[in-house]
Amino acid sequence: MIEPGWPTIAKIGALQTTRHGGVSQGAWASLNLGLHCGDEAEAVMENRRRLSARLPGPPRWLRQVHGTRLVNPEQWQPDIEADAAWTDRPGQVLAILTADCLPILLASRDGRMVAALHAGWRGLADGIIQSTLARLPVEPDSLQAWIGPGISADHYEVGAEVVATFGDLPAELAAAFAVNPAGRYQADLKALAGWYLQQGGVSCVVDCQRCTASDPHRFFSYRREQGRTGRQATLIWIEP
């Protein structure tokens, strides 16, 4: 387990799982927390049980679809389709599953609200960060953000069709899609996310600087394993 290295806020808890500490076998070894990636359901549920034992409550899992929907506690139900969630209720644990996409945690400086986002290239291009910041019940300048483990630009090659979905990017983001010798692009999702957060008014943005694709010992990676892999979780809550 990894504890996010961001400025400490009283009453806020956060945790990043790795691929260790569970019972899953093979490509999903061992702490796979994703139910829809080919692993045995019984193993995933045991992994989730082990994780929950370390938390103040069971995680509020989402059915992530690379969209921009944000849900709050009143809307939450098992397997709800969304890619972002927020809560101001102590003891409610928000969870994001990833295997290359970015998990992003948000916490208000007064410790009264937390949020978690799943941001792949589709979500970033469609504005999940901007729409989430606009719909949260606090001002963006009261938030701090932590960008968790995700695929780095060195390992994330995309085509021109992906770049086109972002429209006209400002000059300071030109390096987020560096052209490689093959004439394709190395996409820097973390640079994009950090810029959108800062432009949205979040002044404190901390990147964990961990790459899922380059660390097979610690993290699952969809790109590295060509889709046959597990999911790690990024979690945040207000202490009860």
The answer to whether residue 181 scores a pLDDT higher than 90 is yes
* Predicted local confidence at residue 10, as pLDDT: 85
* Predicted local confidence at residue 67, as pLDDT: 98
* Predicted local confidence at residue 130, as pLDDT: 98
* Predicted local confidence at residue 230, as pLDDT: 98
Domain positions in the chain are 12-238
* Predicted local confidence at residue 61, as pLDDT: 96
- pLDDT of 41-60, one tens digit each? 999 999 999 999 999 999 99
Q: How confident is the model at residue 64 (pLDDT cuts 50, 70, 90)?
A: very high
* Predicted local confidence at residue 50, as pLDDT: 98
Q: What is the mean pLDDT of the chain?
A: 96
pTM for this prediction = 0.97
Q: How confident is the model at residue 6 (pLDDT cuts 50, 70, 90)?
A: confident
DSSP the chain: -B---S---TTEEEEE--S-SS---GGGTTT---TTSSS-HHHHHHHHHHHHTTSSS-EE-EE--SS--EE-TTT--TTEE-SEEEE-STTPEEEEEESSSEEEEEEETTSS-EEEEEE-HHHHHHTHHHHHHHHSSS-GGGEEEEE-SB--GGG-EE-HHHHHTT-S--GGGGGGEEE-TTS-EEE-HHHHHHHHHHHTT--EEEE---BSTT-TTT---TTTTTT----EEEEEEE--
Identify the architecture of domain 12-238 in CATH: 4-Layer Sandwich (3.60)
- pLDDT of 133-173, one tens digit each? 999 999 999 999 999 999 999 999 999 999 999 999 999 89
